[in-house]
Amino acid sequence: MINTNEISKLGFGLMRLPKIGAEFDVEQIKMMVDSYIKAGGNYFDTAYIYQGSEAVSKEVLISRYPRESFKLATKMYIPQGKPKTKDEMEVYFNEQLEKTGAEYFDFYLMHGVASEKAYRTFCDSGFFEFVAQKKADGKIRHNGFSFHGDPKLLNLILDEQPQTEFVQIQINYADWDSTVIYSKELYKISMERNIPIIVMEPVKGGILANVSSRIEEILKKAEPNKSIASWAFRYVASLDGVMTILSGMSNMEQMNDNLSTFDNFQPLSKDGQETISKVIEIMYGSKPILCTSCRYCIEGCPKQIDIPKIFSLTNSIRRTPGDRLVKVFYSQIPQDNNASACIECKKCEKICPQHLPIVDLLKEAAVELTKDN
């Protein structure tokens, strides 16, 4: 059983670490780790498919702090319909141990399950038996999974895998009532089963930190001394049953802001909840594309379209129609890689954790980012 009181409420997600060019900014990351730990933070989240993340965690954290002083989470990813053998999982797991130098993992996850077929692929691989053996060997302390599916699938997995100790689900105020992300329903299921919750995407990939000027004005009027991002974190941290909230921080400024939010934390007041309700109403009025910039879509794209960048530009033009600078930025994307280059293979849609209709959205983007106002 997990002692949730031992886990810091703010978790450090090692997915969007700062870089200088193509290389990690190791010195800045060390400063971020040091500040986080000094403030009482102790939960670090990485994954095999976060390119270079596991390896850099050894350099900035694991080789610099006593192993028992922090909690390390990582994940196994098995592509849907392509089960691994026990030997392949062994190689994968041992590579993770070697890259991190961690000796053991405090939290180990089935990574990114979004469909029953994906879940069955883990079952067919013998993943759950594999994890049980690693727990018996002392290489894994707690097991769970990160989840992007619907309520029916979550109940199915929890029924079939009663040994599950925690779930990692996407919760933020923009997705709370979503009929695609199901934040509220997934939260309720987890609470009913008394399963600790790890929250991912509390700021929805930065969307809730980079809001329109109208929304910013409302939030600043309500609480002038609070950052825009802090509203998203406080919304999630005010929920019962949340063990830790992952933030993929990219610089010291974000780290300091988040540490300030969680220092002497105060839940959102009734007035604060009402302010968030106003924000949601305005936000959905501008029809934003709710992309979190995870970039999973780009890896399999035959045209190497920078989908997150294009969606970010589209959101900008929707917030401020007529912004010519946005269109200049879009025009700088090579024609072979812009929105119109999409060949509609839909590989991106199969892997998108947000279940976005990417092909149709790219068509919209191609029009909106090139039309004259």
Residues 307 and 204: their CA atoms lie apart, in Å, by: 16
Res 317: pLDDT: 82
The runs of H, that is alpha helices, within the chain are 26-38, 53-57, 86-100, 116-125, 127-136, 151-160, 183-192, 213-222, 228-237, 252-262, 270-285, 296-299, 307-319, 324-331, 347-351, 358-368
Per residue in 48-100, pLDDT (tens digit) is 999 999 999 999 999 999 999 999 999 999 998 899 999 999 999 999 999 99
Taking only the tens of pLDDT, the chain with its 373 residues reads 899 999 999 999 999 999 999 999 999 999 999 999 999 999 999 999 999 999 999 999 999 999 999 999 999 999 988 999 999 999 999 999 999 999 999 999 999 999 999 999 999 999 999 999 999 999 999 999 999 999 999 999 999 999 999 999 999 998 898 878 899 999 999 999 999 999 999 998 888 998 889 999 999 999 999 999 999 999 999 999 999 999 999 999 999 999 999 998 989 999 999 999 999 988 887 788 989 999 999 988 999 999 999 998 898 788 766 667 788 889 889 999 999 999 999 999 999 999 999 999 999 999 999 987 5
Per residue in 181-205, pLDDT (tens digit) is 899 999 999 999 999 999 999 998 8
- Domain annotation for the chain: domains and CATH numbers: 4-284 (3.20.20.100), 296-368 (no CATH)
Res 353: pLDDT: 92
Res 225: pLDDT: 94
Res 322: pLDDT: 67
Contact 57, 100 (CB under 8 A): yes
Supply the angle between the helices 116-125 and 151-160 in degrees, to the nearest 10: 20
Per-residue CA distances from 316 to 12, 322, 327, 353, 373 (Å) = 28, 10, 10, 22, 15
> Which residues, other chains included, contact 208 with Cβ-Cβ below 8 Å and sequence gap of 6+?
172, 173, 174, 202, 228, 229, 231, 232
Res 373: pLDDT: 57
Contact 85, 130 (CB under 8 A): no
Residues 198 and 246: their CA atoms lie apart, in Å, by: 7
Among 40, 45, 100, 95, CA closest to 67: 100
